[in-house]
Amino acid sequence: MGEVIKAEWFDLSDTSKADCWAWLHETYLPAMRAAQGVAWVGHYGIVKHEDKPYIDGAPAKQETTDPAVPTGWQNVILTAAASPEVFFGPDNPVDALVEANADKLAAFENYRSAVFIEEQVVNAPEQRALPYGMGPPPAMQLGNYNANTPDDEIELARWYRAERFARVSVTRGMIRGRKLLSIAGWPKHGVLWEFTDLPEGEYTFEPRFVEADRNENWQGRHVLEYVTHSPSGPHAGRLVWPKE
């Protein structure tokens, strides 16, 4: 088994952000990183999507409107662990930390979470910048979504292997790509695209995947025709902690 990744999405009010970030970076996240079984932790500030089509010339991106799915997106915390037991086992250290800090964590608005296992890991040109298991990438894009029908699940699995994984292996500035499946949470599917940077003015890595065209000649539908994303997803951002 590869790494198990817990993703947490949330917003913070303008009045609470500075204090909450200071507490997260100085106290809570270092304690989480030190917990038994935790491999690494990363906190990302997410860049807001521009008001234009997500991918030029592609179908419109579908987002869930289910009121039961919280809408947080401004912050993402990723916690990687050696096993699902770290998150779900009896008396696990993550639950203990959450319970001990419930008063501070109450500042998280529109909070939701999911826990993923890896379906596939594909190395990319910059893998030497951050070998697998060595920590959170400097920039990332976290997609989380559901396919609309069982037949769409089959097409999705084939599309990744026919097109997207091939492009990941040659995408500019990319460290690796992880296709994820959830153990818990709203999405069944996830992707974690790891990059060396996200330049100012950019809010998605999709143009880099378009640039990495390898003449795959995919004959199926465009993936945006049959998947439903989380609110404001996918979420691309820069690492704000740790900085070392």
The CATH number of the domain covering residues in 4-241? 3.30.70.100
| Residue 228 CB burial class (10 angstroms; 0-12, 13-18, ≥19) | middle
pLDDT at 1: 66
Range list of H helices, the chain: 17-23, 29-34, 85-88, 93-100, 102-105, 150-159, 165-168, 206-211
Domain ranges of the chain: 4-241
Distance spanning both ends of the chain, measured CA to CA: 28
Residue holding tokens 């970030």? 21
SS3 98: helix
The count of other CB atoms within 10 Å of the CB of residue 86 is 22
pLDDT string in tens for the chain (244-residue length): 699 999 999 999 999 999 999 999 999 999 999 999 999 999 999 999 887 777 777 888 999 999 999 999 999 999 999 999 999 999 999 999 999 999 999 999 999 999 999 999 999 999 999 999 999 999 999 999 999 999 999 999 999 999 999 999 999 999 999 999 999 999 999 999 999 999 999 999 999 999 999 998 899 999 999 999 999 999 999 999 998 6
pLDDT at 244: 67
pLDDT at 50: 80
pLDDT at 176: 98
